[in-house]
Amino acid sequence: MPGIKESPRIAVHGLGAMGLDLIRILHGQGADIVAGIVRPGSDKDGRDLGGLAGVTGLAFPARGDAEQALREAGADIVIVTVSTYLDDAQYEIFATAVRAGANVITLAEEMLYPFATDNPRARELDALAKEHGVTVTGTGHQDAYWVNLIGVLAGSTHDLGSVTGRLSWNVDDFGRAVAEHQHVNATVEEFARWQEAGERPPTFTHYSLHALAAAIGLTPRGTVETTSEPVVARHDTHSAALAATVPQGRLLGYTDTDTLHTEEGVSLSVSSQGSVYEEGQKDYNEWKLTDSSGKPTLHLRNSDLDTAHTTCATLINRIPDVIEARPGIVTVDELPQLRYRPAHRPA
């Protein structure tokens, strides 16, 4: 594809922090943004899209009726930035786009590898997308930093025993819904009761480990093992996402550690801390590989990352790959190597 400006027609479903960031970047690249969609009843329904995003030249309203908006817009691809999991509500958002003949690219973490949990909605969505000849793909920061980079790193060794990752990301960069998901401002006792209830969905990194295994060419054995630890405020800390101060002793978020074993004997593990940052904290990703004897062999650290920016940029650079992919749900291990795509900015 020569550039985003020449094709395609893009709709954005979900106008929270990430959706509006994507609109700003796409608009700056001269992309053809044809619709902005919000949930029915949202206070953003009917408001000028350019005004919401803080840009000029998008003088049409955000719409709460997704079906009608897509029918009128004739979008080639819909960016979805609504929530994490493929539940009934999220399925209907994707299905509405698919039935309108549009491809879907989403930041929903489960869609990075939705078959990992044998979610029946994934099978239904896959069949629906094939029926309509369009593609559905999940991407984002994890595509680049938890799958692609590590797959290349693993490709530089002949003896792989384990892959271990540590990463941190700032909840405040992703808005209120993510902050609530990370239990920001909960008490330690509330977090413990949530853990004891045993009703939590799979973690963000659960799907990434399955995608990483597929990218490396490994076969998962058993289920992902997960442990979680609260991140407790050492002093009163302001959360921009909640527009509130988290008192000392309450949660700023939590850390998940996931481990996936494989038939080939290689263990994959990652600890992901999602929390409101205290002064001096920065995003990072760190990965260490060992050989089959446990000897460290390879080390990669990406320090002082802007996770929110890399999330948006990765999605935008993936748009041509998704449009050109086969119909159905296509996971990132099936897509070409992620690469930079020069923008065709308006003169």
- pLDDT, tens digit, 9 for 90 and up, residues 125-170: 999 999 999 999 999 999 999 999 999 999 999 999 999 999 999 9
Asked if residues 136 and 127 have their Cβ atoms less than 8 Å apart, the reply is: no
Query: Same structural domain for residues 153 and 199?
Result: yes
pLDDT of residue 7: 77
pLDDT average, residue stretch 73-86: 95
Q: Are residues 114 and 191 in the same domain?
A: no
One-letter amino acid at 271 equals: S
Residue 337 has pLDDT above 80, yes or no: yes
Beta sheet of 162-170, edge-to-edge order: 220-232, 251-262, 267-275, 162-170, 283-290, 296-305
Residue 3, pLDDT > 50, answer no
Going by C-alpha positions, the residue among 205, 202, 152, 211 that lies closest to residue 329 is: 211
190 within domain boundaries: yes
295 and 316, same domain (yes or no)? no
For the chain, what is the mean pLDDT? 94
Asked whether residue 297 falls in the same domain as residue 325, the answer is no
- Domain check: are 47 and 111 in the same one? yes
Say which CATH number the domain at 224 has: 3.30.360
Q: How far lies 164's CA from each of 149, 245, 282, 294, in Å? A: 13, 34, 20, 12
Confidence (pTM): 0.90
| 4 part of a folded domain | no
By the 10 Å C-beta count (0-12 exposed, 13-18 middle, 19+ buried), 222 is classed as exposed
Do 14 and 119 belong to one domain?
A: yes
Residue 346 within any structural domain of the chain = no
Average the pLDDT over 74-83 and give the result.
96
Whether residues 205 and 256 share a domain: the answer is yes
Q: Tell me, yes or no, whether 317 and 281 share the same domain.
A: no
Judge if 46 and 125 occupy the same domain.
yes
Q: 71 and 30: one domain?
A: yes
Spatial separation of the C-alpha atoms in residues 269 and 291, rounded to whole Å:
15
Question: Distance between CA atoms of 317 and 342, rounded to whole angstroms?
Answer: 9
Quick check: is 347 in a domain?
no
Q: What is the DSSP letter of 141?
A: H
Report if residue 107 sits inside a domain. yes
In a domain, 313, yes or no: yes
Closest residue by Cα to residue 285 from 269, 262, 266, 304: 304
Mapping DSSP to helix (H, G, I), strand (E, B) and coil, where does residue 235 land? coil
288 and 152 assigned to the same domain: yes
Q: Which pLDDT tens digit goes with each residue over 224-265?
A: 999 999 999 999 999 999 999 999 999 999 999 999 999 999
- Domain range for 63 is 9-138+309-334
Q: What CATH number corresponds to the domain at position 100?
A: 3.40.50.720
**pLDDT value at position 347?**
45
Kindly state whether residue 342 falls inside one of the protein's structural domains: no
Confidence of residue 345 (pLDDT cuts 50, 70, 90): low
Q: What total number of domains does the chain contain?
A: 2
Q: Tell me whether residue 163 is in a domain.
A: yes
Average pLDDT over residues 310-335: 97
Question: Does the pLDDT value for residue 215 go beyond 70?
Answer: yes
Residues 96 and 68 in one domain: yes
